Structures are given as C-alpha cells and as structure tokens.
Amino acid sequence: MKSLSISVLLLFFFHYSVAQTNPNSVQSGMPVEMLFPGGKSKALLLSYDDGRTEDRQLVKLMNKYKVIGTFHLNSNKLGTKDYLTKEEIKELYAGHEVSVHSFNHPNLTTLSKPDIVYEVIEDRKELERLVNYPVRGMAYPFGNNNQVVLDAIHGLGIEYARTVDDTYNFKIPENFLMWHPTVHQFAKAHWEPNQPEKDAKELAHFYQIITDFLQTKELAVLDIWGHSWEMGNNPAYWEETEKFIKMVANNPSIHYTTQIDLVDYINAFRNLKFSVDKKMVYNPSALPLYFNFNGKTYSVLGGKTLILSKE
C-alpha cells in the first residue's frame, strides 16, 4: 500500500514536470511587465491647477531642470485678475500639457448634468483653440466628483481626470477617470497658516515619499499635484519647490512625461497583441513600447511584430 502511494506520487511528479517543461505552456503563462519609454521603471507626473500668474515662475523653474508638467486651466478665467492671459498660454506651456479644469471652476457635484457637460466641453473647446491640439485630460475643480459627474464626462473625450485624494503610493490607477495622485506638493505643509510643527512633519513626509520613489525597484509613478499660487510671492516656498524639483530631475531611471502622454503609452501597451504561446507580439500603435518578459527587456516598435523567442 505504501509503495503504491509512492509510485502514484512519483507519477504525479513526472507528469507535473513534463507539463512544466513544455515551452509553449511555460511561456504562455508568464507575465508581461510594462516598462515606461526607454525601458525605464519610473515615471514622474507633475500637475498644477488653475492657471494663475505664478505659473510663469513655475514653468520657468521646470524648464530650467527639464521636468515636464500638466497644467489644468479654467479658460473662462484666463485674462481676469491674477490669471494668465489667453495669448500667452500656447507659448508658456510649450512642451507641457494643457488640460481641462472646467470653464469656470465650479464644484461640479452641485451642478446638473447639462451644466457639467457645458463646463467641461466649453473649457475643452476654448483650450483647444488656444493651444491648437486636442485637449483630452482633466482635473476636477476642488477634486470634487461623484457618479453624476463621472456619468456626465463619459463621452466628452476626457481620457483621464485627476482628483486630489492622495494615495501616498506609486501605483497606476485602475480607473483613469478617478486618477488619484501620489501626494500634494509639500504634502499638507503650509496648507494652514501658523503651524510650524505640522509643516515640518508634513515636509518630512513629502521628502520621504520622494526618497522611497527614487529607491524603489518596482514599476512606479510619482504623481505630485499642486498650485503655483500656493508659493505666491514667498521666496522660501519657491526655494523649497526648486529643491524638490532638483531631487527628481535629470535622473536616467525616470521617464519625464505629461499625464496624457503616459495615458497614451499605457493604453498602447495594453493594446499589444501577443500570440497564444507568447512567442510573438504585434504593436499596432505608433509608439515604441517596452516590457519585461521571461527575464529579458524587450522593445517593440510601432507597427511591428517582434519575435520573443526562437525556441
């Protein structure tokens, strides 16, 4: 009885090991891990809301360190007191992304569906006229959203919408219309006046998150959001801004990108066509795509089919 059970066991192991060494089944079950352009494992998103005049100083700083951002604008406020003019938008944000923040910055959750549609579509239309490219991203005014808002923006050509709900992690969100950022710039430091102890704690938290991002070996997106008007005309806040930008700039392991370019890249990656045995992959997009598979890093050019294994 004992020897019978041993031989059954041996047979099972034999069968199991044959199944495991079948190269087709092994390759089919292996995960494909997305990498960012250039085969990088980290991406940096910086996004700033409202389009106030302090954006001039912020963009100058970002350009100095060659970091890229997304700027969410209320086009009906442009040209009014403390806001940028319509005429300067295109040139100021060249190389960055201009994105929807609603026409007038209302709390969208208090509006009817037609009014939400109006706020989004009018902003989109006017921004497109100003920058001369399709505007496809958004940040919710005040970060506020609910199911009515989500239902209303479906079908308006908005491909992602950022909230202000900090995750303190580096994951790519499941739902791009509920894109929760990693952290507010400086975390919650300086958010309320005269709280030096809280400010110091929040700043330390902010820098810890950046350090964690720089050190992680996993696929990671650091998504920092804020407003240039938070720095206002306080030189210390601008110095702090330069300090953190310096920390994340010029790093060969980081892919610097606008949010819509990252969304396009992820969508293109998800649309890769693998053969059943995962020995071939076709990239129907126009973007070169990078991934790890079976211990190797691959890149497949737009419109091309790549052979992953010659076994």
Binding site for Zn ion (CB under 5 A): 49-50
Give the nearest distance from C-beta 58 to Zn ion in angstroms.
Answer: 15
- Do residues 141 and 102 lie in contact, with contact meaning Cβ atoms separated by under 8 Å? yes
Within a 13 Å sphere around the CA of 231, how many CA atoms are in the beta-carbon half? Answer: 25
Give the nearest distance from C-beta 90 to Zn ion in angstroms.
Answer: 21
- Do residues 52 and 227 lie in contact, with contact meaning Cβ atoms separated by under 8 Å? yes
Give 79 or 303: the residue with its C-beta nearer to Zn ion: 79
Site of tokens 């700043």: 203
Question: Could you tell me the sign of the dihedral formed by the alpha carbons of 244, 249, 253, 256, in that order?
Answer: positive
8, 16, 18, 29, 95 from 12: Cα distances, Å: 6, 6, 10, 21, 60
Give the nearest distance from C-beta 230 to Zn ion in angstroms.
Answer: 11
Give the nearest distance from C-beta 19 to Zn ion in angstroms.
Answer: 56
Within a 13 Å sphere around the CA of 136, how many CA atoms are in the beta-carbon half? Answer: 12
Give the C-alpha separation, 98 to 84, whole Å. Answer: 13
Give 72 or 278: the residue with its C-beta nearer to Zn ion: 72
Give the nearest distance from C-beta 49 to Zn ion in angstroms.
Answer: 4
Give 56 or 64: the residue with its C-beta nearer to Zn ion: 56
The CB-nearest residue to Zn ion is 49
Give 166 or 269: the residue with its C-beta nearer to Zn ion: 166
Q: Please tell me the chain's helix, strand, coil percentages from 3-state DSSP, rounded to the nearest 5.
A: 40, 20, 40
Q: What CA dihedral angle connects 217, 220, 226 and 230, to 10 degrees?
A: 0
Give 82 or 239: the residue with its C-beta nearer to Zn ion: 82
The strand pair at 183-184 and 160-162 is best described as: unpaired
The two counts, helices (H) then strands (E), for the chain are: 9, 14
Give the nearest distance from C-beta 123 to Zn ion in angstroms.
Answer: 12
Give 50 or 230: the residue with its C-beta nearer to Zn ion: 50
H or E stretch covering 302 = none
Helix axes 55-64, 235-248, angle to 10 degrees: 30
Give the nearest distance from C-beta 121 to Zn ion in angstroms.
Answer: 18
Give 140 or 291: the residue with its C-beta nearer to Zn ion: 140
Give the nearest distance from C-beta 143 to Zn ion in angstroms.
Answer: 8
Give 49 or 240: the residue with its C-beta nearer to Zn ion: 49
Q: What is the 3-state secondary structure (H, E, C) of 20-50?
A: HHCHHHHHHCCCEEEEEHHHECEEEEEEEEC
